[in-house]
Structure formats: structure tokens, C-alpha cells
């Protein structure tokens, strides 16, 4: 039984190591391609670049890397994770396009609260109030939330009006 647990753990670590190696190698190749393109353009001009645009070839790695990131977040091991899997945006674009949601108009409020809007301007939008870890839907008519630079005045916009609040 103990040998089986060890073998399972060993195989899992080997797979993570292979994933990390591929993530880093393909990420380095992508970064090098971008750097080469920018260096060429800096010397010869962007109009003279005839090569292919570098492509990040890690899309297929995004799901397993995201699963590892979630575990690292749960355990508080984000710094170690970032060292093993340097941050990247491009591999996650397909996941974001499929499952992502736009979050906008963040307004930090007193008492550990945060108001924000979900949904892009061309989508159905919804305002929320986050208090600690409790998420509460706000009135559906709210289309925008904002605050003054000094955070003294807040505004809530609907299709019909803009209400302002001090404090």
C-alpha cells in the first residue's frame, strides 16, 4: 500500500516536472521570438519585418497549469508556483474567451466592501457588492459605479439617472 502511494506521488511529480519544463521552454522560445522581432524592428523599422509573428505554443498546457495554480492558491504557495511557472496571458486566452467574465468599475468602500460591475458593455451587466467573502447582487438597473479621486463621493448610474453619495 505504501509503495503504491509513493509510486502515485512520484508519477504525479514527474508529470508536473514535465509540464513545468514544457511551459518554460515554450515560453522562452516565444519570448525570444518577440525579442528578435522587436530588435529587428528597432533597427530596420516595423514595415520591413517580413517574418512570421511569434506564437505562444502553450494553449494545450493552460488547463493543467490553471489546476496547479488553484492548488497553489489554496495552500498559499503562489510565490513558489510563479517561480516554477512564470506568468503568461496568451495560453489562457481560449479559456478566458470561453469562461471569462469582464469585471469593471471597481469601487473600494469602507468596512471591507467592494462594489463592481460584471459583464462587458455589450453584454447584460450586473452590479455586485462584495463584503468579506459574501457576494450580494445589487439592483439590476445599475449600469455603472464610480468614485471621485479622493474617494469622498460615489456615483451609481442607471439608464434613467445618476445618483451621487458623499461618504
* High-pLDDT (> 70) share of the chain, %: 96
What does the pLDDT look like over 75-84, one tens digit per residue?
999 999 999 9
Domain boundary among 70, 95, 120: 95
- Indicate whether 68 and 84 sit together in one domain: yes
Same domain, 17 and 74: yes
Query: Is the same domain home to 151 and 81?
Result: no
Pairwise CA distance, residues 20 & 59, whole Å: 14
Say yes or no: 107 and 81 in one domain: no
- Residue 109: helix, strand or coil by DSSP? strand
Beta strands in the chain, from DSSP E residues, in sequence order:
103-109, 113-118, 126-131, 134-137, 142-147, 153-158, 162-166
Query: Are 62 and 11 part of one and the same domain?
Result: yes
Residues 80, 106, single domain; the answer is no
Domain end residue (candidates: 51, 72, 95): 95
pTM: 0.69
Q: Which of 80, 95, 110 delimits the end of a domain? A: 95
What is the domain range of residue 11?
2-95
Same domain, 85 and 128: no
Domain co-membership, 27 together with 80: yes
Number of domains into which the chain is organized? 2
Q: What are the tens digits of pLDDT across the range 43-75?
A: 999 999 998 999 999 999 999 999 999 999 999
Backbone φ and ψ for 77, nearest 5 degrees, come out as -110, 35
Under 8 Å between Cβ of 117 and 104: yes
CA distances from 124 to 89, 119, 145 (A): 25, 6, 15
- Give the per-residue pLDDT at 47: 94
> With the C-alpha atoms ordered 32, 38, 41, 42, is the resulting torsion angle positive or negative?
negative
Amino acid at each position: 500500500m505504501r509503495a503504491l502511494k509513493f509510486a502515485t506521488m512520484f508519477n504525479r511529480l514527474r508529470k508536473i516536472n514535465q509540464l513545468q519544463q514544457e511551459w518554460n521552454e515554450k515560453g522562452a522560445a516565444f519570448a525570444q521570438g518577440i525579442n528578435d522581432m522587436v530588435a529587428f524592428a528597432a533597427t530596420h523599422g516595423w514595415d520591413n519585418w517580413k517574418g512570421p509573428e511569434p506564437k505562444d505554443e502553450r494553449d494545450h498546457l493552460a488547463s493543467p497549469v490553471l489546476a496547479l495554480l488553484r492548488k497553489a492558491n489554496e495552500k498559499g504557495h503562489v510565490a513558489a508556483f510563479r517561480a516554477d511557472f512564470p506568468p503568461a496571458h496568451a495560453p489562457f486566452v481560449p479559456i478566458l474567451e470561453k469562461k471569462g467574465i469582464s469585471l469593471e468599475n471597481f469601487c473600494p468602500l469602507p468596512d471591507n466592501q467592494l462594489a463592481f460591475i460584471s459583464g462587458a458593455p455589450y453584454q447584460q451587466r450586473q452590479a455586485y457588492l462584495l463584503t468579506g467573502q459574501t457576494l450580494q447582487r445589487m439592483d439590476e438597473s445599475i449600469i455603472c459605479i464610480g468614485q471621485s479621486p479622493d474617494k469622498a463621493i460615489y456615483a451609481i448610474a442607471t439608464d434613467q439617472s445618476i445618483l451621487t453619495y458623499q461618504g
